[in-house]
Amino acid sequence: MKKILLLFVFGLGFGAVVLAQDSTETDAKEAPKQKFARATFNSTKIINMQSTEIVSPGSLQFMISHHFSPLWTDGAATGDNFAQLLGLNSGLAYTYLSFDFSPTKWLNLGLAAAGRSRYEGWAKFKILRQQTGERNIPVSVGWYSMFNVNAAKDPAIQLSWNKFAFVHQLLIARKFSDKFSLQLMPTAIHFNLVPNGINNSNTVWSLGLGGKYKLSANKNITFEYARQFNMYKNLVDKNGNIVNYKPNLLSLGMEFNTGGHLFQFYIGNTSNSSNIDQLARNTSSIKLSNMALGFTINRSMSLKKD
């Protein structure tokens, strides 16, 4: 009888261990794996605006952008417009040269020569990353802060601090599928010195929307639209002239990834290369003759030792 009881107890114990083991293995199999969204955008910029992407940690990126003059100058002779070759041969090209580096996987730092004796520096932070699994986060979130300073001498500006302007931008992106991504960009542009005029303000508010559609493994269509909400009507400059800006900014682009370089070709209603002018001082309305061609070349290199 004792032997039977011992066998019964042993059998129960062994069965409990086997059941517990099976339960643990089942739980492990059923535990959702964390899956992160990758390549929401293929560049640190969609076209003119920053994306939530940064270069990989320990990598340095060099970027050169050219914005040419409008396709067609209203009022100019037809022959002159043809001679300017859709703005490519007009002698006007705003150039943007930048270097940026990511010391960590969540921080990017950069410096740029923004054209017309102006310089920019920025920091971009990754706050959240889109993912599914145990943690379900539907969007990627980043923050971008940039300063712009005019290094040229201006007798009308007595305080050097008045030469500074700033951009602060919240980046909210979602990769809806392998092909389609969207990003929302609430933006504040702050000027330390503003013109006179009844509609002036130190801070300009803007809201942008950008997107990417993947055509193939190395080709994408991109677009951006931004709307300025204030400080674009009846401003008065330092010479007493009334100035009006255009609040809408639209750009369409095509990306080509060659493996070593990323080429971006685009068209939009701005010839300016800096976000300060694009989002707060745009002088071109959205119409075909005001559209200007541009391109950007990106090259990244790792500074890590093998």
Number of domains in the chain: 1
Task: Give the pLDDT confidence of 246-287 residue by residue, as tens digits.
Answer: 999 999 999 999 887 899 999 999 999 999 999 999 999 999
Pairing of strands 131-132, 140-150: unpaired
Q: What is the model's pLDDT at position 29? A: 56
User: And the tokens for 124?
Assistant: 């971009």
For residue 156, the model assigns a pLDDT of 67
Say if CB 99 and CB 93 are below 8 A apart. Answer: no
User: Rounded CA gap, 291 and 272, in Å?
Assistant: 12
The reported pTM is: 0.85
Q: Strand 93-104 vs strand 59-70: parallel, antiparallel, or unpaired?
A: antiparallel
Q: Are strands 180-191 and 196-197 parallel, antiparallel or unpaired?
A: unpaired
Please answer whether residues 147 and 165 qualify as being in contact, where contact means their C-beta atoms are separated by less than 8 angstroms.
yes
pLDDT at position 199: 74
109 contacts 115 by C-beta, under 8 angstroms? no
The Cα 237–Cα 110 span in angstroms is 31
296 falls within a domain: yes
Contacts 24+ apart (CB under 8 A), 125-133: 126/52, 126/54, 129/36, 129/37, 130/36, 130/37, 130/40, 130/173, 130/174, 130/175, 131/34, 131/35, 131/36, 131/37, 132/32, 132/34, 132/35, 133/32, 133/33, 133/34, 133/35
pLDDT of residue 68: 94
Q: CA-to-CA distance for 225 and 251, rounded, in angstroms?
A: 7
> Which residue, chain included where needed, has tokens 């677009």?
223
pLDDT < 50: residue spans in the chain: 1-20, 23-28
Residue 52 structure tokens: 């939530």
Q: Is residue 113 assigned to a domain? A: yes
CA triplet 252, 258, 261: central angle to 5 degrees? 80
Pick the closest to residue 203 from 213, 192, 212 (CA basis): 192
26 lies in a domain?
A: no
Residue 281 domain-assigned? yes
> Can you tell me the distance from the alpha carbon of 257 to that of 39, in angstroms, rounded to the nearest whole number?
13
Query: Rounded to whole angstroms, how far apart are CA atoms 150 and 161?
Result: 10
Distance CA 27, CA 138 (A): 25
- How far is the C-alpha of 278 from the C-alpha of 298, rounded, in Å? 21
Torsion of the alpha carbons at 279, 110, 301 and 37, rounded to the nearest 10: -60
The answer as to whether 221 is a domain residue is yes
pLDDT, residue 259, reads 81
Instruction: Tell me the CATH number at 205.
Output: 2.40.160.40
Q: What pLDDT shows up at residue 273?
A: 92
Residue ranges of E strands in 71-216: 93-104, 107-115, 118-128, 131-132, 140-150, 164-175, 180-191, 196-197, 203-216
Q: Are 185 and 169 within 8 A, CB to CB?
A: yes
Is 21 part of a structural domain of the chain?
Answer: no
Identify whether 17 is part of a domain: no
Domain of residue 225: give its range: 35-302
- Report pLDDT digits (tens) over 145-162: 999 999 888 766 766 888
Strand partners, 72: none
- Kindly state whether residue 23 falls inside one of the protein's structural domains: no
